Amino acid sequence: TEVSPGAVHLPDWLDAPAQRELLEACRAWARPPAGLRTVRTPGGGTMTARQVCLGWHWYPYAYARTVVDGDGTPVKPFPEWLGELGRRAVRDTLGEPWAAPSAAYDIALINFYDADARMGMHRDSDEKSDAPVVSLSLGDTCVFRFGNTETRTRPYTDVELRSGDLFVFGGPSRLAYHGVPKVQPGTAPPELGLTGRLNLTLRVSGL
């Protein structure tokens, strides 16, 4: 489903074995060093979703090669197979022309949400590339709010993202405001063995 130009939602893209495999990889990446951390914004705020990065480390509002706001260790490498997964995700949503980006996927940001976690409306503008962002969801269903490029308020569209769903944001949607107003606790597929929600985004740094 194209929610907005360049924003395509493909429910159930990852089957159950693929979801389990990706979850196990995320759990390994979440372990120290350079593991899961709490992100603090310069204004004194705290993100309720906790995060781990691969390839480049994101901190508000830039990228680094080390965990500058955590244990100071080098960020974990971005594996080749994730880049291929990103390429396939773009091909399956936006189509072949978009899947041959001049630059390769080299960043993964993985957000872990417990039942009370949220993400406020924001734009992702720290990447120096206009390549599409690939989002994969695991575990609990959430309400994802897809807004507009002008304001963090209405008009927006609320979409439920479920375990295994793919969402790709390219073209004019790349700089749209978006957020996660709610996670629906206890909605994860029981056989996955995840309490809460996890979202993995793949990006091109342009760095």
Angle in degrees, CA 48, 51, 57, rounded to 5: 135
Say which entry of Fe ion, ligand MD3, none residue 167 contacts (CB below 5 to 8 A, set by partner kind).
ligand MD3
Q: Which of 67, 133 has the CB closer to ligand MD3?
A: 133
The nearest distance, CB 101 to Fe ion, in angstroms, is 19
Q: Report yes or no: 169 and 6 within 8 Å, Cβ to Cβ.
A: yes
Q: Which residues pair with 197 in a beta bridge?
A: 113, 139
By CB under 5 A, is residue 124 in contact with Fe ion? yes
By CB under 6 A, is residue 176 in contact with ligand MD3? yes
Which pair of tokens denotes residue 173?
């949607």
Q: Report the 10 Å Cβ neighbour count for 151.
A: 11
Q: Report yes or no: 90 and 168 within 8 Å, Cβ to Cβ.
A: yes
Say which entry of Fe ion, ligand MD3, none residue 129 contacts (CB below 5 to 8 A, set by partner kind).
none
Spell out the residues 6+ positions from residue 136 whose beta carbon is closer than 8 angstroms to its own: 13, 14, 22, 89, 165, 166, 199, 200, 201, 202
The nearest distance, CB 15 to Fe ion, in angstroms, is 26
Instruction: State how far the Cα of 16 lies from the Cα of 138, in Å rounded to an integer.
Output: 10
3-state secondary structure of 185: coil
3-state secondary structure of 76: strand
Say which entry of Fe ion, ligand MD3, none residue 109 contacts (CB below 5 to 8 A, set by partner kind).
ligand MD3
Does the annotation flag 57 for ligand binding?
no
Which pair of tokens denotes residue 166?
């793919």
Stretch in the footprint of ligand MD3 (CB under 6 A) among 62-70, 76-84, 170-178, 183-191: 170-178
* Torsional sign, CA 11, 17, 21, 27: positive
The nearest distance, CB 4 to ligand MD3, in angstroms, is 10
Say which entry of ligand MD3, Fe ion, none residue 69 contacts (CB below 5 to 8 A, set by partner kind).
none
Q: Which of 23, 131, 180, 194 binds ligand MD3 (CB under 6 A)?
A: 180
Say which entry of ligand MD3, Fe ion, none residue 134 contacts (CB below 5 to 8 A, set by partner kind).
none
By CB under 5 A, is residue 126 in contact with Fe ion? no
Stretch in the footprint of ligand MD3 (CB under 6 A) among 66-74, 84-92, 149-157, 171-179: 171-179
List residues binding Fe ion (CB under 5 A). 124
Q: Which residues are annotated as a binding site?
A: 122, 124, 178
